[in-house]
Amino acid sequence: MPKEVCGPVLRYIIRRLLQMSGVIVVLSLLLFLWLRSLPGGTVSAILGERATPESRARLEKALGLDEPIYLQYFRFVGRALRGEFGASTGVLPGRDAFDIFLTRFPATIELSFLAILIAVVVAIPLGYVAARSRGGWLDNASVVASLIGVAVPVFFLAFLLKYFFAIKWGLLPVSGRQESLGCTRVTGFFVLDGLLTREFDCSWSALRHLILPAFALASIPFAVVFRITRAAVLDVLDEDYVRTAEAKGLTKQVIRGRHVLRNAMLPVVTTIGLQVGALLAGAVLTEKVFAFGGIGEALAIAFQMRDYSVLQVLILMAATVFVVVNLLVDISYAVIDPRVRTR
């Protein structure tokens, strides 16, 4: 990027980051109030049947849950500013909630990344081909297929995949992230760790565990990426510059790559970034079906156990990730679209 454009872009990023932190603060307040207004609570989750009013009061006092909510919130903010998010009470009691996020997050990234990858690898070529044969049987069939992806509840698709590939045919593992091979942990990304440490059986096992959940989860971005690609390619094919390119006698490959896809990819790139939110929601369902130890599963357990610290951290971090990814998408948009970049 030329020097003169760096200034505005940097300023833009800083402004976005400031706004972002504002949103996170507001969100943290809303989240705090929401969690505290949920029926039930940490204490019930810890004590179960044996909760007596005394043990309840004792625990509430010890946890500071008997204080007024505004006081609890200030304490929470104070701690959060010091980087302390509190200890978990349900998911992994005693562990710092942020550590739990750090332990669990790589799993979700691995899963989401592979899901996006699958979706992109299949959806973009399919979207292109469908657009080129607009109205033909291939187009209609792939449109219907992509909409089936929308119509099938993701947890049911997850179950179907598991039922056939894992249980019935025994091709892939049923659940979890890896067999207990005693693998070395470096980054928390199991596939990567295995490659780094050359424990290739670990990578292989992790990959096999990833396939089914990733395909299930891929159904969410797949439909969207396909439709956007198809629509974008249709739009671009109609553009004059494509006709110009044809008039120049350029080869099909150059026209497809430089003139059609490069332009059509602009909305597609944005869309892929935007799928992060939907992916997180889908991950909760998918990880539940595959007992895949990511933040989706942790979120479900934390919710069930009313583990406030963990819920707060997970949701705030999810929101942060979401916002950061959006920012990255906007920046990448600026990078790939000269009209934005050199404005």
Considering only residues 313 to 342 of the shown chain, the ones binding other proteins according to CB under 8 A are 322-323, 326-327, 329-330, 336-339, 342
Choose between 45 and 122: whose C-beta lies nearer to other proteins: 45
Q: According to CB under 8 A, which one of 8, 69, 70, 246 is a site residue for other proteins? A: 246
Residue 96: strand pairing partners: 87
Choose the stretch contacting other proteins; rule: CB under 8 A; options: 3-11, 63-71, 111-119, 120-128. Answer: 63-71
The H or E element containing residue 297 is helix 295-305
Considering only residues 257 to 316 of the shown chain, the ones binding other proteins according to CB under 8 A are 258-259, 262-263, 266, 270-271, 273-274, 276-278, 280-282, 284-285, 288-291, 293, 297, 300-301, 303-309
Q: Is 201 in the site for other proteins (CB under 8 A)?
A: yes
Do residues 270 and 329 make contact, with C-beta atoms less than 8 angstroms apart?
yes
Distance (Å, rounded) from C-alpha 40 to C-alpha 335?
A: 48
Choose between 80 and 122: whose C-beta lies nearer to other proteins: 80
Residue 249, phi-psi category: left (phi > 0), alpha (psi -120 to 50), beta (remainder): left
Min dist. Cβ of residue 220 to other proteins (A): 10
Min dist. Cβ of residue 77 to other proteins (A): 11
Cα separations in angstroms, 292 against 87, 177, 203, 213: 22, 6, 16, 8
Q: Is 66 in the site for other proteins (CB under 8 A)?
A: no
Q: According to CB under 8 A, which one of 118, 119, 130, 173 is a site residue for other proteins? A: 173
Choose between 6 and 62: whose C-beta lies nearer to other proteins: 62
Nearest CA to 235 among 265, 275, 274? Answer: 265
Min dist. Cβ of residue 118 to other proteins (A): 20
Distance (Å, rounded) from C-alpha 240 to C-alpha 244?
A: 6
Q: According to CB under 8 A, which one of 5, 10, 121, 150 is a site residue for other proteins? A: 150
Considering only residues 87 to 146 of the shown chain, the ones binding other proteins according to CB under 8 A are 87-89, 91-97, 103-104, 106-107, 140, 143-144
Main-chain dihedrals φ then ψ at residue 89, nearest 5 degrees: -115, -15
Min dist. Cβ of residue 205 to other proteins (A): 7
Min dist. Cβ of residue 125 to other proteins (A): 20
Nearest CA to 107 among 26, 179, 177? Answer: 177
Q: Is 244 in the site for other proteins (CB under 8 A)?
A: yes
Q: According to CB under 8 A, which one of 3, 7, 68, 198 is a site residue for other proteins? A: 198
Distance (Å, rounded) from C-alpha 203 to C-alpha 4?
A: 45
Considering only residues 223 to 242 of the shown chain, the ones binding other proteins according to CB under 8 A are 227, 234-235, 238-241
Min dist. Cβ of residue 121 to other proteins (A): 21
CA dihedral 233, 274, 340, 18 (to 10 degrees): 180
Distance (Å, rounded) from C-alpha 120 to C-alpha 269?
A: 10
Distance (Å, rounded) from C-alpha 309 to C-alpha 263?
A: 45
